[in-house]
Amino acid sequence: MERKLMIAPSVGCCDLFHVEEQMKIINERSDYLHMDIKDGVYVPSYGIGPDYLDYLNKHMENLKPMDAHLMVAHPQQYLETFAKAGAAYITPHTDCIEGDAFVTIHKIKDLGCKAGVALSPSVPLSAIEYYLPLLDKVTIMIVDPGIAGQPVDPQMYVKIRQLAQIRKERGLNFLIEADGSMNKDLYRPLYEAGADIVIMGPPALWNKDPDFEKAWAIMEEDLETELKGAARNI
């Protein structure tokens, strides 16, 4: 299915008793697989680990690209682990690599992965200005990472629009991803601001219906309805 916005479900949200059936639907119908790696240190919550990626990589055919979103205090220590587990993208947070950003990004690429970075809401775009040409993806956190239930500040649309403008002016081709508190009310403003991908968590997908097949259909209908007639000039 062709969409204006690509989608990447956060697969750590799968029902543990129905992971296989939910993952089959997700892998068949999504664009990317978002893997939230949380250490309880950088963020006050925990997520999945490399074993989860490794298992999917070994047991699912035609696996969509997995993005290891490293919400961890020392991502440099885990680059090889996640590359080996099958991550197509590795995305650390800017404030965790600010002392060795170029080394970290080049290592991700040397491992055969695509390089992303994630910016928390308070991190300015200027933090990535000098290594932006090296990146394959920029994840704009529209809420603080690792804490559920936050409202989205409209300034994040401005931030995405500014990043899309920089991409256009500099002739770069990285993807712009929006992550956090995703719901149907955000699809249109995020798309019009310049986002290419949105991360789907429980409010946008799993909570739509106890039957995951029905939940997926509702999410797709929400996307189509909210983006009908939407356009952007960036």
Active site (annotated) includes residue 211: no
Choose among 60, 47, 57: nearest CA to 21: 60
Active site (annotated) includes residue 179: yes
Pick the catalytic residue: 36, 39, 67, 196? 36
Pick the catalytic residue: 39, 67, 136, 179? 179
HEC string of the chain equals CCCCCEEEEEHHHCCHHHHHHHHHHHHHHCCCEEEEEEECCCCCCECCCHHHHHHHHHHCCCCCCEEEEEECCCHHHHHHHHHHCCCCEEEEEHHHHCCCHHHHHHHHHHCCCEEEEEECCCCCHHHHCCCHHHCCEEEEECCCCCCCCCCCCCHHHHHHHHHHHHHHHHCCCCEEEEECCCCHHHHHHHHHHCCCEEEECCCCCHHHCCCHHHHHHHHHHHHHHHHCCCCCCC
Catalytic positions: 36, 179
